Structure formats: structure tokens, C-alpha cells
Amino acid sequence: MTAVTLGPEGTYSHRATRALDDDVVFRQSVTDIVAAVAAGEFDRGVIPIENSIEGSVTESQDALAEYDVAVVREIVTPIRHALLAQGPNFDTIASHSQALAQCRAYLESEYPDATLEAVSSTAQGVEYARENPSVAGIAHPATAGDDLEVLAADIQDQTSNATRFFALAPASERSEAGGKTSLVVYPNANYPGLLLELLEPFADRDINLSRVESRPSGERLGDYVFHMDVDAGLYEERTQEAIANLEALAERGWVRRLGSYDLEHVVE
């Protein structure tokens, strides 16, 4: 089995993907990963979906709304950020935008005059630091290797910082078994009480909605796609009944079952 995730080697996505397989290839965007899995180019793909500090990864949400794939596992991994550089004299700090945001308090306190540069991944920021002594990176301390110093460890604003990743598979592998289910709902409608109507089928059946978020549909201003995580499997009759209600409400739009899955914690 070959898995595809965000590169280059050493990203947090890479660390999470190793819970699935050691045969890992890399792409530079979440959208490319989801599209490749949907097309059957890879057996598995791993994308970040939500961080405990910065919230949801909007590119992941939009890609899951655009492409038909299955979510087959949820992987949660702690995020340990360190400041890595060739030495203490640098003027630029490069990392993924979410990593920079997750270390905002530390950076404002210790390096208020440094230029913050958002790059495609934490690992790319580390590569820039290796190439240029005037650049520091923010990434997992294990990525420092022999040529970078760990100037400060655990610099994230919250010690409980963690990220959820979705393990994706082609849509044909979608499962009804598992303790959680993810849905994408496009009602193609907008009227008072719509959101309440979308939530009530789950509340009426004692199904916990662990995440509900909206994203612009791209069709018109004020038109939204809803992403839902529920603490129940598709195999359960109550879940099937709730989704049937959703489909009736979204008769002008659509409801996508991403699948049911279980949670795995990866600690490194």
C-alpha cells in the first residue's frame, strides 16, 4: 500500500502517515492529495483536518466537498514545535502558516522584529533554515538532524496542541463500520431555521454532533456547505434515519457520506 501526504519528508503529516505505512510519497497541496486518491492513483492519503488551537484546515474541507473519497481512519497526533536554526543569529522565521499561528505568543515575545514567512510545510521551513543561516524554521525537534540547533523546544502556545488527520481511500472503500462518521451537506437553500433543521435529526436520536462547520459553496454569496462529524456509525439505524432526513432537507442539493471510521492516537 502506498500513501500520499504533504511533503517534503519530516512534516507532521508525514509523521501521522507512518501510522498507516512506511511507503509514503509526497504532494505539495491538500487538494492534490485528495484528487489523487479520488482518481485511484494511491491506496491512501493523509490530510490534516483540524488543529486544537487554530481550528479547521479550510483547504481540506473544500477538497472533501469537491472530490468523492472515503474517510477510513482518524489519526490524532500531538504537535511539538521547536525553533530550529544554524545558530542564534537570524532575521526570518519560516514555517507553515498554522505552525506560525500556533506559536504566536512565543514569537511575539521572543522575536518581535523577525520576519515571519509562511511556506507550504514545516519541513520546507526547515530546509530553508539548512540552506540559509539567516533563516530559522519551526517544526518537530526531530527534524533538526545534525546541521541545525534546537534553539527552543515546545514553543507552541498550548501544551495540549494536537492535530486531527483524516486517512483517505478511494470512494469504493467507504465503510459503514466505526464509531464516528463524517458528512458533507450542501442544502442549496437559505432560509430562517435551516441550520436548526439540519441539526434536529441528530438531536432527536441522541446522536452527538462533535463538529459542525460551514464553508462557502462558491456558487453564490451567502450559500454554504456544511461539514459534520457525528459520534455514531453508518451501520446504526438511527444514523441512517438522521441522514435520510438530511437528504429530504437537501433535495435541491446533496449529502455526501464520507464514511465511518475509528480513532487512533499517534504519539511521537
With beta carbons less than 8 A apart as the criterion, state whether 215 and 58 touch: yes
- Beta-bridge partners for 135: 92
Give pLDDT, residue 264: 87
Walking along the chain (268 residues) 10 residues at a time, the average pLDDT comes out as 87 88 90 97 96 90 97 94 96 94 95 95 92 96 92 91 94 96 96 95 97 94 95 97 97 97 83
With beta carbons less than 8 A apart as the criterion, state whether 101 and 221 touch: no
> Using CA atoms, how far apart are residues 150 and 142, in angstroms rounded to an integer?
9
Between 194-203 and 237-249, two packed helices, what is the crossing angle to 10 degrees?
A: 170
Give pLDDT, residue 7: 81
Give pLDDT, residue 268: 60
Give pLDDT, residue 267: 67
Closest CA to 219 of 99, 66, 92, 72: 66
Give pLDDT, residue 240: 97
- Beta-bridge partners for 51: 55, 163
Closest CA to 168 of 12, 11, 48, 25: 48
With beta carbons less than 8 A apart as the criterion, state whether 85 and 152 touch: no
Maximal CA-CA distance, the chain: 61
